[in-house]
Amino acid sequence: MAQERPDGRVMVELVDPQGNTIGLAEKLEAHQPPGLLHRAFSVFLMDDENRVLMQRRALTKYHSPGRWSNTCCSHPFPGEKPRDAVTRRLREELGVVPASLEPAGLVTYDVTDVVSGLVEKEFNHLFVGRAGADLALNPDEVDDVEFVPLAELDAWLDEHDHTAWLSAVLDSVREPLARLAASPVGS
């Protein structure tokens, strides 16, 4: 289940349009034009005041450095369940264990970052939940975070440079976020 090969290459799962694994590719290769459809995940966590935890990617990242994005997004290790990958990456990037975490659907998109030319052609597993206790940011992954009220998120995004894929995942997760916001905290 290792994502990194002995030669240091990081691998992702290639999938067909239905999400069936059809092979592996090196992560950077999968993001080169025209892009290779691969498995990914995106998670949006809110605090008890229904503010969405947004992260500014580390300035040293090869893809979209210094841009704002959702709470966490990445790729499962080959063979790793997306939910397991979410909890692993939340710990690695933000030092947080979610208080709750629920699947919120799937979205497939094909977007090109106009700055880098890298392509996000992803079969993306979506999750929403409640943030746990204190954060411990990994500076290699995250430059900054901000909790943004759900009702103000669109206006906030209009004022902040964000990742090319954020609009696609946010549009697909709006309804699950609204349901989470309407549910009593702790339920």
Using the structure block, give the residue that is written with the tokens 């397991």.
84
CA within 13 Å, CB half, 39: 25
Cα gap 46→177, rounded to integer Å: 8
Residue 108 sits at the vertex; the CA angle it makes with 158 and 165, to the nearest 5 degrees, is: 25
Which residues are identified as catalytic?
73, 122
What is residue 52's three-state secondary structure?
Answer: strand
Q: How many residues does the chain have?
A: 187
CA distances from 30 to 15, 23, 135 (A): 11, 11, 31
Using the structure block, give the residue that is written with the tokens 């892009």.
35
